[in-house]
Structure 1
Amino acid sequence: MSDGPRLTTGNLSVDVITHSAIGARPDPNYTPSIPSIEALRELKDQGLWGYEDYIAWGVVEPAENRWDWSHHDEVCRRVTAAGLVYIPYIWCHYPPIWLRDDDRITLMRSGNGGNICYMLSIYDPRTLDWYRRFYEALKAHFGDRLTEVYACFLGPFAEGNYPLPYANFVVDVGDCPDGQYWCGDRFALPLFQAAMRKKYGSIAVLNAAWRAELGEFAAITFPPEIAGGGPAQKGLARPVAQRRRWLDFIHWYHQTLIDFCAGSVDCVVEVFGRERVAAKPGGNCGGMNPVSWGTYNPGFAKMAGAKRIALQSADSHGAYWADKWTSSAYAFYGVPYRTEAAGGLTTEAFIQRTFSDVSCGASRLFSYELDKHMSTCVRYLPLFTGERGQTDVALLAPTTLHYLGGDVAPAIAAGMHLRDYFDYDVLDELLIEDGALERGHYRVLIAAHCPVVEAHILERIRRWNERGGLLIWAMAEPVQTVEGNTDLWINTATFEGDRLGKGWMFGTGPDTESLAAVAGRVVYHSDTLLGGPQPMPLVDGQGDSVWTTVRTHELLFLNVGTETVEKKVPSNASPIELTLPPRSIVVTTRQ
């Protein structure tokens, strides 16, 4: 459905799940807590648009073919009577008690086979049949009363994660420790083998890539560290000979989850129609989620773009680099961007979250804590138009380093430091591969702490650079490919800058000061370079703890510091003089 400045909230019926047969604290005598129509109407009057209701399969079908929707009927009645939109958030990944031990299903199992959690296996093709059965029962009961439905994925909260223990306060998740790779059931390995056959074609080609001596595809196994729950050697410490096999596994592991979620979306679309469907892919933990979690945001954005549905990303708390890593993919693949705030945010943190969301093009504002943040939500809701901040600068995400288990914190810290000087997008290697540098009309690409990159991605960057792009690479050591090759064009870049075709490339050290110095020159004064393109309008460029976002008709400012800042902003007319209190958003008309 179409988005606009809309305020939503959720968590209805979580208490019912908690005290149900599948819950963390089963209690057959529990009396559900449902907000009164009066309380809901008050929220409506303050600006709330929609309320999410968690509908769990294990609650509404307590015995096979015996459905009980009575609780959710009452929730729906009250929500709609208050003038709000009732939005089911589906939890059918936890099967009912009567099905847990049934051979008609498979439960998710860790790679070492020692852990079994109470979530349906994404590898078993029968799982989507069960999902479809639930969606059809939901449609049969509610009919056309539902404006929007959130498809169920996996993870602890029906999002785009592999099993994790963090919903154990709501539901009995089974034996579900963090840090595992969940590919231990009988369906998983044959799917991996088939994927490798499709990629390589012949076992000889695979052996060359993996530096292995396998006799047939049926001899393929998962990397040995899967049984131990994680790689023993991480990042560049992983021997070159082991990298490709590991990366092939991780790409398959992530894509298999995305493909399963796409299948769930297809089921909901077929039952309810595309215009009613949205989904929650999980968040980014303020950076890039642990690799074992499977929450590959750009991959989910690509899937959602192909399915033409909206996504609602979690963990929003103003971590700008992470939000741009997610939202840049949403924008590139044409996905409406919605966010959920992390819980426990202070007012100051919530305001920073709001600024980040608005700058990233969010069209909905969601909070679980309206009692704390309603006034902030109402104040800034008109900014949620879906328009992103204007920039022709991009940062490269250290995708390959992340997949190899390396430390991406320095890259994120560098990005957060640069945000004080200018706005930017963050491009994952997937976006580079799919043409984002060219189609996104980026003038500048900055790669900070990206020591290992796929060779074909480096080639895409080089071609863009030669056509006139401006490239800055901050490195503590020579850049290398997955195969360990360091004899690369980028390793000849100097601090002063070097021509490459029609473009320029710069190399700096890993420190943020030298990076910011070169970046400031290139971003705001690129016309001083021989053949350099016209720079972006000078609206910031000062290290004053003020973030600036440019939109079509307005400038947005957020002072992330602790002291009031007096800022003079250049404009086509006279300079704009602003007083910016700490942790507040100031909006001025663009001249």
Structure 2
Amino acid sequence: AVRLPELAVDPLEDFRVDEYTKPGKFVINTIEDRTRWLDFVHWYRESMNDYTDFWMQITRKYFPQKPIYLCTGGDASSPHGSNFAAQCKVVAGHQGGIRITNEASKYATNFAITNWVSSAGKFYNAYFSFEPAGKVTEKGVVCRLYNATATGAKGLHFYEGNLFDSELKTDVFVDNLRHLYKGSVSKCIGVMYPDTSLILGDISSSDFLKGFELLREYTDYIFLDDLTIEDGILDTIKIAVICCGEIYKKQTLDILLKWVSEGGILIGYNIEKIRSAEADENYQSVLFNTQGGNKEIGKGISFYNPIKINLKEGQKEAITGAQPTFIPLMESNEYYQKNLLDPLTEFLASQGHFVTNGILNGVFEAKVDHRILLLNTEDSEVQTQITLPDGGKQSVTIGYNRIVEIEY
């Protein structure tokens, strides 16, 4: 049953309330309850997609030669009724695009909440653009420029105050504007988006954000989800990662297993029991060496690290805004560098893939038009050594709040 919250109704304002009211939660006690809730959310989202399809069709009819966008946003939680991959597929059918309105001022967070749209948009050939949810800082100005280029966005919207309410914002915008362009983005790593786990409450929004923020600082990647996997997105990547959420649809897991057995590379960490939503069937031992290390699966291979990424107590629900969202981890960056990321770099190198930066030093990388784009999010200049696609090394200095491009 759904537990509905108490609502304070003003008799003069009808159902308008000033205080924030959280949505009710579906109580899940059995696998049947789980399936029932997933079916309901799917129906709700598909109803919204039907509505989207109708209006995109009408808009395209009267504006046959113009770019048309579905304006969407938020974090795709169940009450929002949005599945960003499905929205991309719908608008692509009308030669349309997505304008997602949820960026803020921290690059890693912006990436985590826009990557579903940019990944599915590219896969379904739906163009997309980014809009901030509100105010942004001077770092937000630069990281938004970077996110647009690093994903292949068609557009980037700024409110006037985002750029002109301080000279500092205007200056950093002008200094970095040359790095804003639409190029050919190259990514060979895909990470499982834990949509089912989020719907079921198996993980929190903070688990989601921090897990993907940490991995993004290590390397660049696209999101994989139930719909895009069903439609063949695994054929566009070489490496798949499961690192957040343990409950996935059985069909998704079966397709993933088949892809690995045919030569794919699968990585897993921060997970202990991967299982199907419909029957609770355990896939952990099928996909991974549960003790850690490599496992050959047909023509492919998997690598598992039993390390966990734990948040400090009380950090469960994250609400993004104009200021960066700070979500503290139980362990230090140095701990995860040594025990998670360095072993991962070694494994990937053994498979012929060289991680460009691979260090938690506030520097982010992306590959666009045979260039490596580097973003410095630290509070000072950073000197680092990157690895080129052929395995060669190059030292780079990146100024504060700057973007640097390296040709290869």
Matched, 1:501 2:294: no
Query: Which residue of 53, 63, 77 maps to 1:290?
Result: 77
- The yes-or-no answer on 1:473 pairing with 2:268 is yes
What is the match of residue 404 of structure 2?
586
Does the alignment pair 1:519 with 2:344? Answer: yes
Q: Which amino acid aligns with 1:323?
A: T
CA shift digits 1:440-499 (9 cap, x unpaired): 1x1111111221011110001001100111111224431111134343212644421110
Q: Give the equivalent residue in structure 1 for 2:330.
A: none
Q: 1:403 to 1:238 in 2, by over 3 A?
A: farther
Matches within 5 A, 1:287-326: 288-317=75-104, 318=107, 319=109, 320-326=111-117
User: Does the 8 Å CA contact 1:560/1:583 hold for their aligned counterparts?
Assistant: yes
- Cα distance in structure 2, aligned partners of 1:487 and 1:553: 41
Cα distance in 1 for partners of 2:360, 2:62 equals 53
> Residues 114-513 of structure 1 correspond to what in structure 2 (within 5 A)?
175=16, 229-233=23-27, 238-273=29-64, 275-284=65-74, 288-317=75-104, 318=107, 319=109, 320-368=111-159, 369=161, 370-372=163-165, 373-387=169-183, 389-406=185-202, 407-438=204-235, 440=236, 442-488=237-283, 489-490=286-287, 492-512=289-309, 513=336
For the residue of structure 2 that corresponds to 1:258, the secondary structure is helix
* Residue 289 (structure 1) shift: 3.4
> Is the CA contact (8 Å cut-off) linking 1:437 and 1:464 kept in structure 2?
yes
Cα distance change on mapping 1:239 and 1:501 into 2, 3 Å: same
Q: State whether residues 361 and 384 of structure 1, in contact with CA within 8 Å, keep that contact through their aligned partners in structure 2.
A: no
- Cα RMSD over matched residues? 3.0
Correspondence for 1:560 among 377, 380, 386: 377
Find the aligned partners of 1:573 and 1:434 in 2 and give their Cα distance: 33
Shift of 1:388: 5.1
Contact 1:455 1:481 in 2 (8 A): yes
Q: Alpha carbons of 1:173 and 1:420: their partners in 2 closer, same or farther (altered >3 Å)? A: farther
SS at 1:315 equivalent:
strand
Note if contact 2:245-2:271 (Cα within 8 Å) is conserved in structure 1: no
Measured after TM superposition, the shift of residue 299 of structure 1 is: 1.5
Report how far residue 232 of structure 1 moved.
Answer: 4.3
**What amino acid maps onto 1:452 in structure 2?**
I
Amino acid corresponding to residue 283 of structure 1 in structure 2: G
CA distance in 1, matches of 2:245, 2:387: 34
Aligned to 1:569, the other structure's residue is in SS state strand
Change (3 A) 1:444 1:408: farther
- Aligned mates of 2:50, 2:178 — CA distance in 1: 35
* Bigger Rg, structure 1 or 2: 1
The CA deviation at 1:428 is 2.0
Partner Cα separation in structure 1 for residue 368 and residue 112 of structure 2 = 19
Counterparts of 1:324 and 1:173 in 2: how far apart (Å)? Answer: 38
> What letter corresponds to residue 403 of structure 2 in structure 1?
I
CA contact 2:381–2:400 (8 Å) conserved in 1: yes
User: Equivalent residue of 2:69, what SS?
Assistant: strand
The number of residue pairs the alignment matches comes to 361
2:361 corresponding residue in structure 1: 544
Deviation at 1:297, TM superposition (A): 1.4
CA-to-aligned-CA distance 1:393-419 (integer Å, 9 cap, x gap): 111110111122332432431221122
Q: Give me the whole-angstrom Cα distance separating, in 2, the residues matched to 1:364 and 1:307.
A: 18
Residue 217 of structure 1 aligns with which residue?
Answer: none
Describe the superposition over 1:176-233 as per-residue Cα deviations: whole angstroms up to 9, x where unpaired: 78668xxxxxxxxxxxxxxxxxxxxxxxxxxxxxxxxxxxxxxxxxxxxxxxx52243
What letter matches 1:363 in structure 2? K
Following the alignment from structure 2 to structure 1, what is the Cα–Cα distance between the partners of residues 262 and 95? 32
Q: Is the 8 A contact 2:117 2:128 kept in 1?
A: no
CA contact (8 A) 2:197 2:247 kept: yes
By how many angstroms is 1:378 displaced? 4.1
The CA deviation string for residues 518-558 of structure 1, in whole angstroms up to 9 with x for no partner, is 432333x133xxxxxx324x532233221111222422111
Please say if residues 77 and 199 of structure 2, whose CA atoms lie closer than 8 Å, have aligned partners that are also in contact: no
Give the Cα–Cα distance (whole angstroms) in 1 for the partners of residues 21 and 140 of structure 2: 29
Contact 2:145-2:179 within 8 A present in 1 as well = no
**Cα 1:487/1:573, change in 2 over 3 Å:** closer
Query: Which residue identity lines up with residue 371 of structure 1 in the other structure?
Result: F
**Is this contact kept in 2: 1:398–1:428, CA < 8 A?**
yes
Cα deviation for residue 585 of structure 1 reads: 1.5
1:450 alignment partner, SS class:
coil
Stretch deviating more after TM superposition (563-572 or 422-431): 563-572
Structure 2 regions of 5+ residues with no counterpart? 310-335
Classify 1:393/1:476 alpha carbon distance in 2 versus 1 (closer, same or farther; 3 Å).
closer
Give the 3 Å change call, closer, same or farther, for CA 557–569 of structure 1 in structure 2.
same
Partner AA of 1:385 in structure 2: Y
C-alpha separation in 1, matches of 2:282 and 2:401: 46
CA spacing shift, 1:482–1:568, aligned 2, 3 Å: closer
Are 1:281 and 1:300, in contact at CA under 8 Å, matched by a contact in 2? Answer: no
Code of the residue aligned with 1:279 in structure 2: it is Y
TM-score when normalising by structure 2: 0.79
The percentage of counterpart residues that share the same residue type is: 21
> What SS does structure 2 have at the residue aligned with 1:473?
strand
Deviations 1:377-403 (A, max 9, x none): 444444333225422011111011112
Unaligned runs of 5+ in 1: 1-109, 118-171, 181-228, 528-533
Provide Cα deviations, 1:318-365, integer angstroms capped at 9, x if missing partner. Answer: 322222222101111101121112322110122122212221111222
Instruction: Write the deviation string for residues 297-321 of structure 1: whole angstroms up to 9, x where unpaired.
Output: 1111111111111221111233222
1:569 counterpart residue number: 386
